[in-house]
């Protein structure tokens, strides 16, 4: 009878059960049954339908946030440049308005604020609104205390600039915290933020892939209403093709996944060569280890640690990763082809070719490369994650779920 709980969650927050796995929803229901003292599903169903607070508790149990600071670092670099392009049009009449939703525990909106400060904007020139459906994660975000898992990658200079050691964690400085306002809201609510002025930039990443097509369309209409007509929207890699289908076009910043209304694209192309950015210190791309069920940024492949020396093969793979992470897609693709010619079939090389094709909007080509990688290495975690997200974005929920389950089995087997 778990189907009725799935249907309720879909109607209230738009969650497609296959996107997270039915086992996640079932586990959450069991957990809440124990917390409420209900002995069977029927009893809990009655409690759930009679108590808005219990429905919220179930939502918060299902929605497990997975985020970290400066995830997709290229997007924050692009934001800094786009902000300076937009400021002259505002002529000091108001501050830049940026929206982050869902904001989870605050890493994304605080990264936005830090990136703009690093790019040279004075604190009074921008304001970030952060929205999430979960009051629990919003309360954590408002506290501004973060632990090691929120800081990933090699370049953590921003932590020295904007955090103060606090016990075993780090406390955010007031200069950053004061630029972010946290609000509770449901993205499926057509009246979300109805009293607020439209935003210059909207961040909504890795959310649409968990919805069915009708819900995706409804959510995009809400996002378009919340954004200035000439504003820009940052989304996740798996959602790029969806926005293209909805009359929006990418701005051309490599790996930033930022879109604008297609009708404005010809008159508002990025002028990166003429933008004067005062001494930006936007963090360099961070190599991160993505979660299995989301579409990650370009990961940096490290040489196998078991080998005492780095081989030519490892050096070549590292160079491919570096080229791709820096947005030099053509060179990265050529390096992959040279690698295959020199070393023969390789799961890692096919994975990179797949990701480069995916970013370029060539979904069929990307799918073929991901499958080649998995043929050679069935538990290649990055290929599994990206192919699952690609299938989900194309409406193949069953195929995506199978890959997610396969990735989960690989993690469990490795753990044993």
Quick one: which of 160, 82, 73, 189 has its CA closest to 126?
A: 82
Q: Lowest mean pLDDT: which of 282-286, 360-364, 401-405?
A: 282-286
Q: Looking at the DSSP assignment, which residues form a beta bridge with residue 248?
A: 261
Q: Say yes or no to pLDDT of 413 above 70.
A: no
Residue recorded with tokens 């640690």? 305
d(CA 349, CA 340): 7
Q: For the chain, how far is it from start to end, CA to CA, in angstroms?
A: 32
Mean pLDDT for 359-367 is 83
Mean pLDDT for 88-106 is 91
Q: Say yes or no to pLDDT of 125 above 50.
A: yes
Distances (CA, A) of 307 to 57, 240, 311, 320: 47, 38, 9, 20
pLDDT-above-70 percentage for the chain? 83
Mean pLDDT for 251-273 is 67
Q: Return the number of other C-beta atoms located less than 10 Å from residue 286's C-beta.
A: 21
Q: Say yes or no to pLDDT of 387 above 70.
A: yes
> Which pLDDT band, with edges at 50, 70 and 90, does 294 fall under?
very low
Mean pLDDT for 51-65 is 75
Q: Return the number of other C-beta atoms located less than 10 Å from residue 37's C-beta.
A: 9
- pLDDT of amino acid 136: 81
Q: What are the tokens at 92?
A: 């000091």
- pLDDT of amino acid 62: 77
Q: Say yes or no to pLDDT of 39 above 60.
A: yes
User: Of 18-22, 263-267, 307-311, which has the strongest mean pLDDT?
Assistant: 18-22
Mean pLDDT, rounded, of the chain: 81
Q: Say yes or no to pLDDT of 285 above 60.
A: no
> Which pLDDT band, with edges at 50, 70 and 90, does 164 fall under?
very high
> Which pLDDT band, with edges at 50, 70 and 90, does 202 fall under?
very high
Q: Lowest mean pLDDT: which of 41-55, 184-198, 306-320?
A: 306-320
> Which pLDDT band, with edges at 50, 70 and 90, does 263 fall under?
low
- pLDDT of amino acid 64: 60
Residue recorded with tokens 């798996």? 238
Asked if residue 75 lies in contact with residue 256, where contact means CB atoms within 8 angstroms, the answer is: yes
Quick one: which of 287, 61, 46, 273 has its CA closest to 156?
A: 287
- pLDDT of amino acid 137: 86
Strand duo 227-234 + 199-203: pairing: parallel
d(CA 259, CA 245): 12
d(CA 15, CA 413): 28
| Alpha carbon of residue 357 to chain centroid | 19
Residue recorded with tokens 């490599």? 254
- pLDDT of amino acid 328: 81
d(CA 21, CA 190): 27
CB-based contacts of 237, cutoff 8 Å, min separation 6: 257, 295, 296, 297, 358, 359, 386, 389
Q: Say yes or no to pLDDT of 290 above 50.
A: no
Quick one: which of 111, 10, 123, 108 has its CA closest to 62?
A: 10
pTM of the model: 0.61
Q: How do residues 222-251 score in pLDDT, each as one tens digit?
A: 999 999 999 999 998 777 777 877 778 888
User: Of 58-67, 91-100, 338-347, which has the strongest mean pLDDT?
Assistant: 91-100
Burial classification of residue 164, based on how many CB atoms lie within 10 Å of its CB (0-12 exposed, 13-18 middle, 19 or more buried): exposed
What secondary structure does DSSP assign to 39-95, as a single string?
SSHHHHHHHHHH-HHHHHHHHHHH------TTSSHHHHHHHHHHHHHHHHHHTTSS-
Per DSSP, helices labelled H in 326-396 are 329-343, 347-359, 363-376, 381-393
Residue recorded with tokens 């932590």? 159
- pLDDT of amino acid 126: 96
Strand duo 145-146 + 169-172: pairing: antiparallel
Q: Say yes or no to pLDDT of 150 above 90.
A: yes
CB-based contacts of 354, cutoff 8 Å, min separation 6: 365, 366, 367, 368, 369, 370, 372, 373, 383, 386, 387
Q: Looking at the DSSP assignment, which residues form a beta bridge with residue 148?
A: none
Q: Lowest mean pLDDT: which of 11-15, 37-41, 376-380?
A: 11-15
């Amino acid at each position: 009878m778990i189907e009725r709980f799935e249907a309720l969650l879909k109607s209230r927050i738009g969650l497609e059960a296959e996107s997270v796995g039915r086992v996640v929803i079932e586990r959450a229901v069991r957990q809440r049954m124990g917390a409420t003292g209900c002995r069977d599903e029927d009893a809990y169903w009655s409690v759930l339908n009679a108590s808005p607070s219990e429905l919220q508790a179930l939502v918060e149990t299902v929605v497990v946030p997975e985020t970290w600071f400066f995830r997709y670092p290229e997007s924050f670099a692009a934001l800094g440049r786009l902000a300076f392009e937009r400021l002259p049009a505002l002529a000091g009449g108001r501050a830049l308005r940026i929206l982050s939703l869902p904001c989870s525990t605050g890493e994304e909106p605080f990264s936005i604020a830090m990136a703009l400060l690093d790019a040279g904007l004075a604190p009074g020139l921008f304001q970030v609104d952060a929205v999430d459906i979960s009051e629990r994660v919003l309360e954590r975000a408002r506290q501004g205390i973060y632990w090691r898992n929120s800081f990933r990658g090699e370049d953590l200079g921003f932590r020295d600039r904007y955090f103060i050691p606090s016990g075993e964690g780090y406390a955010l400085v007031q200069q950053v915290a004061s630029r972010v306002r946290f609000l509770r809201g449901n993205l499926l609510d057509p009246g979300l933020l109805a009293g607020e002025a439209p935003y210059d930039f909207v961040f909504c990443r890795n959310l649409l892939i968990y919805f069915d097509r009708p819900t995706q369309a409804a959510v995009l209409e809400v996002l378009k209403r919340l954004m200035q007509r000439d504003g820009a929207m940052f989304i996740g890699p798996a959602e790029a093709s969806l926005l293209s289908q909805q009359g929006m076009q990418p701005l051309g910043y490599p790996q930033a996944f930022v879109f604008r209304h297609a009708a404005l694209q010809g008159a508002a192309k990025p002028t990166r060569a003429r933008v004067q950015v005062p001494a930006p210190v936007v963090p360099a791309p961070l190599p991160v280890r993505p979660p299995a069920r989301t579409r990650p940024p370009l990961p940096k492949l490290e040489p196998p640690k078991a080998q005492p020396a780095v081989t030519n093969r490892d050096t070549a793979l590292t160079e491919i990763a570096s080229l791709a992470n820096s947005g030099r897609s053509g060179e990265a693709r050529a390096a992959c082809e040279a690698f295959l010619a020199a070393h023969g079939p390789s799961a890692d090389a096919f994975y990179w070719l797949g990701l480069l094709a995916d970013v370029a909007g060539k979904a069929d080509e990307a799918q073929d490369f991901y499958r080649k990688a998995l043929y050679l290495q069935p538990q290649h975690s990055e290929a599994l994650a990206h192919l699952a997200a690609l299938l989900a974005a194309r409406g193949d929920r069953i195929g995506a779920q199978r890959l997610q389950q396969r990735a989960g089995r690989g993690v469990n087997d490795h753990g044993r």
